[in-house]
Structure 1
């Protein structure tokens, strides 16, 4: 039995997947505080920029939600959750940014992402996140 099989389909996996849905919800509300609260204190996020720490994520997203991300949303689908050891999960996702009035199959809006999550104080937080552009055909 692999280590992943121990947690596959478990409450732990469900909790990790729930964080992905919380990302969607915080983005839909354009809520930088709720978005940043999903990240570990010393997390790293690489997307449109390099962000270090929860406060760095919060600051970047606050500017984004007041500017280019205002009124947008994201749809994110976990493709795989892999537990590398107790309290550490790799999450591989695909998704797209949703912009009102822009077709969902617009290629520049599609992405794949890798996320490292850690268990802290009874919950899961994002420790590292990085995304890459995808084509709409990939989605």
Structure 2
């Protein structure tokens, strides 16, 4: 799925390691969510990363950690999340955009209910050799 990307006249061929690292970010989010680990979830973002969900805007790791701590104790308690990449584009050796489909799974569910199905945009950047989320945004997958 991850292929060479051309921007202007420069060809960008990410290394296999970078491709794997970027592709692992949604899996790491799924794992942090499954553990209801708000700290691990927030650490996937840059220090000033942003998270936009319907009706929610959080800026920075501290805000994201705090929001997810409350969410895991409240509306996201006993939930899991899923996210499968449908598109990955590298724009430089340190910037990529992922598009995923998924959503929140309630206890006992194996598929995301249509009303909770989402598409998400993930802007990822490489900082100090590590790929992190600079911005995450999701919206309903289909019109309701």
Work out the CA distance in 1 between the residues paired with 2:113 and 2:126: 35
Instruction: Describe the shift of the 1:117–1:31 C-alpha distance in structure 2 as closer, same or farther (beyond 3 A).
Output: same
Q: Which runs of 5+ in 2 are unaligned?
A: none
The Cα shift of 1:102 comes to 4.8
Q: Which residue of 1 aligns with 2:118?
A: 111
Once the two structures are superposed, residues 29-84 of structure 1 have per-residue CA deviations (whole angstroms, 9 ceiling, x without a partner) of 11100000000000111014000101111010000000010110111101111111
Once the two structures are superposed, residues 92-139 of structure 1 have per-residue CA deviations (whole angstroms, 9 ceiling, x without a partner) of 11112110145725212110000100101111100001001114xxxx
Contact 2:99 2:120 in 1 (8 A): yes
Higher helix share: 1
Q: In structure 1, the residue corresponding to 2:13 is in which secondary structure?
A: helix
Contact 2:86 2:100 in 1 (8 A): yes
Work out the CA distance in 1 between the residues paired with 2:110 and 2:88: 29
Work out the CA distance in 1 between the residues paired with 2:112 and 2:132: 30
- The answer to whether the aligner puts 1:16 opposite 2:22 as a matched pair is yes
Runs (4 or more) in structure 1 with deviation over 6 Å come to none
Q: Which residue of 2 aligns with 1:97?
A: 104
Q: Which runs of 5+ in 1 are unaligned?
A: none
Higher strand share: 2
Q: In structure 2, the residue corresponding to 1:130 is in which secondary structure?
A: strand
Q: How many residues align?
A: 135
Q: Which residue of 2 aligns with 1:39?
A: 45
Give the superposed CA RMSD. Answer: 1.9
With structure 1 as the length reference, what TM-score do the two structures score?
0.89
Work out the CA distance in 1 between the residues paired with 2:107 and 2:25: 24
